[in-house]
């Protein structure tokens, strides 16, 4: 009852909210999202015409998700952080249930051999994306509630890792190795920020790396990806497991300094698979060249840097829950940007991960808006002198 009254008061009374929101973060977020929409339109027209019979089908669909993302962002900005702190356990439970449901035939949807999607009529959701947000909120709350235990005992350190182990097991059953890497690295990073002892941290990191290596070499298709990554131009790889990478590298080569121009990519004409999703970076490089890629990297870096700065301010102001939220979001964004660009340029083995706000994908876009909305809420409450509900500071829950 108290929670509902607090939410009602906050939603009805905070009329000056949008005048106090972090403007640079909003500009960077929506600027990237609109640029991504433009690039998806360019990269998907021929594919959409062949598969859907309408050149603008994916553009329209992504536009709908973009509008939903804006609504999601607004919702996350309006809701107080204390609300998310209190329901962190419920969010985790909901995420776990959704990861189980996606594995059930008839509920989950199989695409290219993976069970990662749930079809809900007009939209399709990917539970692993929502799980990223749920885990960040849950671990941030845990680090506040159990701060002393986390820093002084193995039990406090291992409890959240047991939850991570359960989540990663469900993700591997889909399978979604990329989400496992992102999630494990994010939670370990948050635990490090939470002040765990170095011995605990580095032992766990060593075990995680060995486990990831073991998982990588126990699946035939992963071994093939590793081999093609080492030499994608080798005989048998060019038109086999290294095909995507070689086509992406050709796109980078065609782009040269300033690109071939918006809409003039050749690689998107069915040469480069997933041109509008995981490999859209290569199309950007082809159409805008090195200059365009450097500019895009600067904008993405500014977005990550701004969120890191907000987290640092929350930490310095004595609001650990807010700081951990920001750090978790920053790690997710930084890792996905690094991995996506690394895969597109051949610096990392091929792995399907979207470029935040740029790649096609409704679940990814909504998750990105939700995470930036959380960070924007942190910034807003830091600026508020008379917030409807103060930032969480070690509140018991």
> Could you state, in chain order, the average pLDDT of each consecutive group of 10 residues for the chain (397 residues)?
52 58 92 95 88 86 93 93 92 90 78 72 79 93 83 78 87 82 89 78 76 66 63 65 83 91 88 86 94 96 96 91 94 94 86 87 91 94 58 46
Number of separate domains in the chain:
1
Q: Is 219 inside a domain boundary?
A: yes
Distance CA 90, CA 136 (A): 13
Q: Is 269 inside a domain boundary?
A: yes
Distance CA 275, CA 176 (A): 20
What pLDDT is stored for residue 389 in this prediction? 43
Q: What is the pTM of this model?
A: 0.88
Q: Is 104 inside a domain boundary?
A: yes
Q: Is 8 inside a domain boundary?
A: no
Minimal CA–CA distance to 379: which of 17, 58, 63, 49?
Answer: 17
Q: Is 327 inside a domain boundary?
A: yes
* Structural tokens at position 107: 């509920």
Query: Taking the mean position of all CA atoms in its chain, how far away is CA 91?
Result: 17
What pLDDT is stored for residue 327 in this prediction? 95
Q: Is 5 inside a domain boundary?
A: no
> Cα(first)–Cα(last) distance of the chain, in Å?
15
Give the structural domain span for 81. 21-383
- What are the distances in angstroms from CA 273 to CA 54, 108, 313, 388? 19, 24, 42, 49
Distance CA 166, CA 245 (A): 33
In contact, 397 and 141? CB cutoff 8 Å: yes
What pLDDT is stored for residue 236 in this prediction? 61
Q: Is 378 inside a domain boundary?
A: yes
What pLDDT is stored for residue 219 in this prediction? 62
What pLDDT is stored for residue 390 in this prediction? 45
Q: Is 368 inside a domain boundary?
A: yes
């Amino acid at each position: 009852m108290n929670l509902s009254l607090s939410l009602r008061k906050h939603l009805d009374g905070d009329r000056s909210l949008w005048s106090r929101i972090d403007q640079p973060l909003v500009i960077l977020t929506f600027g990237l999202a609109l640029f991504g929409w433009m690039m998806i339109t360019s990269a998907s027209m021929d594919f959409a015409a062949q598969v859907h019979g309408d050149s603008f089908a994916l553009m329209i669909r992504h536009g709908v998700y973009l509008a939903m993302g804006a609504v999601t962002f607004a919702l996350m900005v309006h809701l107080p952080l204390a609300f998310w702190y209190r329901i962190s356990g419920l969010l985790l439970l909901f995420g776990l249930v959704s990861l189980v449901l996606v594995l059930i035939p008839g509920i989950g949807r199989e695409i290219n051999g993976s069970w990662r999607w749930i079809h809900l009529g007009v939209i399709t959701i990917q539970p692993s994306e929502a799980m990223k947000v749920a885990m960040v909120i849950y671990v941030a709350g845990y680090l506040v509630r159990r701060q002393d235990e986390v820093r002084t005992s193995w039990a406090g350190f291992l409890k959240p890792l047991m939850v991570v182990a359960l989540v990663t097991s469900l993700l591997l059953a889909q399978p979604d190795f990329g989400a496992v890497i992102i999630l494990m690295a994010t939670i370990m990073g948050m635990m490090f920020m939470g002040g765990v002892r170095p011995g605990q941290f580095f032992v766990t990191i060593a075990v995680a790396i060995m486990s990831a290596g073991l998982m990588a070499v126990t699946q035939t298709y992963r071994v093939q990806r590793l081999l093609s990554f080492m030499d994608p131009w080798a005989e048998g790889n060019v038109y086999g497991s290294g095909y995507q990478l070689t086509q992406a590298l050709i796109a980078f080569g065609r782009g040269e300094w300033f690109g071939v121009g918006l809409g003039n990519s050749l690689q998107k004409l069915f040469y480069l698979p997933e041109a509008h999703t995981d490999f859209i970076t290569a199309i950007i490089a082809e159409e805008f060249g090195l200059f365009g890629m450097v500019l895009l990297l600067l904008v993405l870096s500014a977005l990550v840097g701004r969120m890191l700065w907000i987290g640092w301010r929350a930490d310095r102001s004595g609001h650990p829950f807010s700081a951990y939220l920001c750090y978790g979001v920053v790690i997710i964004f930084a890792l996905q940007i690094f991995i996506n660009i690394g895969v597109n340029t051949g610096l990392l083995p091929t792995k399907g991960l979207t470029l935040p706000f740029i790649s096609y994908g409704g679940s990814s876009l909504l998750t990105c808006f939700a995470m930036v909305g959380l960070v924007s809420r942190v910034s807003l409450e830091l600026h508020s002198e008379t917030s409807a509900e103060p930032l969480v500071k070690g509140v018991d829950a």
